[in-house]
Amino acid sequence: MCSGFPGGIDFGYPFHLGKGIDFSTHMARNPEIEEILLRVDLVGLIGTTIKLTRSGRSYKGLCPFHAEKTPSFHVYPPEGTKSGFFHCFGCKKGGDALTFLVDRDGLSFQEALEQLANRAGMEVPRNIRGVSLSKKRSRFDFLSQCQAHFRSNLRHAARGQEAREYLDKRQVDKHWIDHFGLGYAMNAWDGLVQALGKNLDNVDLGLSLGVIKKRENGEGHWDFFRNRLTFPIQTASGEIIAFAGRDLSGDSQAKYLNTPESDLFKKSRILYGLHQSRESIRETRTAIVVEGYFDVIRMHSCGFANTIAPMGTALTPDHLMILERQCDDIILLFDGDRAGRMAALRTVQLAWDLEARTRVAHLPSGVDPDDFLLSNPSEAMTQLLEGAVPAFNYLLDQILEETGLDSPEQIRKAVDRVFDALKGMKSNTLLDLRLKELADRIHIPLTNIRYDWNQKRTRDGHSRVPASSPNGSPQHIQNNPIVTPEEEARKGLQILLLKDESKIEELIGDKLNTHPTSRACLEKALNVLKEQTEKDDLVLFLSAYLDGGVSSARNMLEQGDEDSILWEVEAILREERIPEDPLRTLEDYTDVIVRSYMDRMVDQYRKALLAAQAEHRWDQLQQIAMKVDELVKERDIILSKGKEVR
């Protein structure tokens, strides 16, 4: 029973308003893509990530996209000509096999489609593959050729000797060299150029991807990497998209170099080691973020296989978003020097509103993870990670250590710095908790901290933190919006109208868009909605339904911008639960919509009545009063109807 809904109408399934569900890959699907999706074992695909158990027509498990203790994640296998899909009734994440791979692994649509086609034993449709996918495939193949060249160099007895000696010195053994695909770019100007030969396509690809450069004076080309250990940069699925190189000469000003960014390679979105770490991150629901390539390799070799690193840059919001999709806990393990502490401070400020918990592990000063594990057992690293400090605590520790608390001026400086760090927070609830932690830490009343925060935000032109109630708690916390009876009725009506027409017809002897009673109710609701605005999505939906039934209404939904409800509708429809009395259920929904409209109109006319009295417009008073009485009488008729649980 839906709480607060007139008559206690039961939707027959847990119902929530969907938020943020991307249905774009499901709309206007190419028939060949539909065939791939029908052939893919969706339960098997998702079952590699979470444990699924049969539950009626679906399979149920703990959601891989958010932390939960009670399973609310459902997987619906393909049925007949309907492809399978998943939906979480907790976090509202939903989609098909394509959506799952895109969200779980951070793949592009085309990369996900390729994987599914391979899994189904099919080819990617030609009209989908097109020039862009063929071009991307050829670049992947080209970069694999480059990787084979670098790997061959490292294994070569003479050419790779210097690089192998360097790796021996750093205590990286063959297993981990192979696991991460390390290679070597020779100490020559044209080692890769010669390997690529005179194939013009290869030369063009090499230039576009930055592994070779054109000579400025004269003809010919030269290698971008020379006398460098190479690290292949891979997508989460393992495709090579770029390279990094570590100088072995000691003469270069740039110890590390990356090939230039391209549409394949964006440093702000790529995490080194994610391909090798993906399974461990999913199993542990934890990601450890370090700063360097060798840090990642050392952590993996010592049993911390859920470790990744950014590409020589600071972590970005995109990096954190990718990690948040796959884990519940992010641990920042940065170097113990000042630069490492500053990097951690910058990063935690990007993580305030993440659903994943963010913590910081302290390394000794001047030590990176590679150094630490070479001189300490793995158990010492485990202990260090277990003692990781929550992000805001870390921020407070660092700021208060730098400013001190010995004078009012120092306290003022510390508070200002904390305020600056929190200015990007979106959640008032979390913000208020942070301000309380600050107040407790510096022994200043929370009301004073809130006052200073509001003063600063007002000066900066931003919104204020909620004021405190007498018991010290915020009066207005920004939580998820409460679903009103009207919103429930609107969504419930859409779901009812999309149900199997043949089953509805068995119960009432007609379709809901042609039965006289239901059609009259729908037309009345439609007219009421039109009086408010023609742009209402429900206006378009009801118009389409009354004109052409279920197929027309579904087409309207699929072509519109509002697709957040569609996966949830699909999940509910797949259960095929039809109300015992569809006509009465429909009437209940439309009554709520009409009554809500009347409530708003009564309120407007009463305000107009007061305004007319205040302005002595006596000639209008009777007309407005009669309209109020008319609306109230009609509304009371709706309210007086006996409603039962359906």
- Please state the three-class secondary structure of 134-194 as a single string: HHHHHHHHHHHHHHHHHHHHHHCCCCCHHHHHHHHHCCCCHHHHHHCCCEEECCCCCHHHH
Query: Which residue ranges make up each domain of the chain?
Result: 18-124, 131-258, 271-395, 485-640
* Cα–Cα nearest to 97, from 117, 121, 126: 117
- Tell me the three state secondary structure of residue 466: coil
DSSP per residue, 366-415: T--HHHHHHHS-HHHHHHHHHTPEEHHHHHHHHHHHHH-SSSHHHHHHHH
Vertex 326 angle, CA 46 and 302, to 5°: 110
Specify the pLDDT at position 15.
Answer: 30
pLDDT at 519: 92
Residues 6+ away with beta carbon under 8 Å from 616:
none
> CATH classification of 18-124, choosing from 3.60.20.10, 1.10.3720.10, 3.90.580.10, 3.40.50.970?
3.90.580.10
The Cα–Cα gap between 561 and 416 comes to 43
Q: SS3 string of 509-538?
A: CCCCCCCHHHHHHHHHHHHHHHHHCCCCHH
* Same CATH fold assignment for domains 18-124 and 271-395: no
Q: What number does CATH give the domain 131-258? A: 3.90.980.10
Model pLDDT, residue 164: 96
pLDDT at residue 262, rounded to an integer: 85
Task: Give tens-digit pLDDT for 573-605.
Answer: 666 577 888 898 898 889 888 888 878 877 777
Q: Which stretches in the chain have pLDDT values below 50? A: 1-28, 130-132, 466-481, 561-564, 642-646
- Identify whether the C-beta of residue 107 lies closer than 8 Å to the C-beta of residue 117: no
CA within 13 Å, CB half, 363: 28
Identify the pLDDT of residue 292.
92
Residues forming a β-bridge with 82: 79
The pLDDT of residue 308 is: 97
> Which DSSP state fits 213?
E
> What is the model's pLDDT at position 306?
97
* Topology at the third CATH level for domain 271-395: Dna Topoisomerase Vi A Subunit; Chain: A, domain 2 (3.40.1360)
Tell me how far CA of residue 478 lies from CA of 426, 439, 481, 498, in angstroms. 9, 21, 8, 34
Q: What is the pLDDT of residue 239?
A: 86
Alpha-carbon 385 to chain mean position: 26
Instruction: Give the pLDDT confidence score for residue 300 in this predicted structure.
Output: 98
* Residue 165, Cβ density class (10 Å: 0-12 exposed, 13-18 middle, ≥19 buried): exposed
In this predicted structure, what is the pLDDT of residue 274?
93
pLDDT in tens, 25-78: 343 357 788 888 888 889 888 887 788 888 877 888 888 877 677 888 889 888
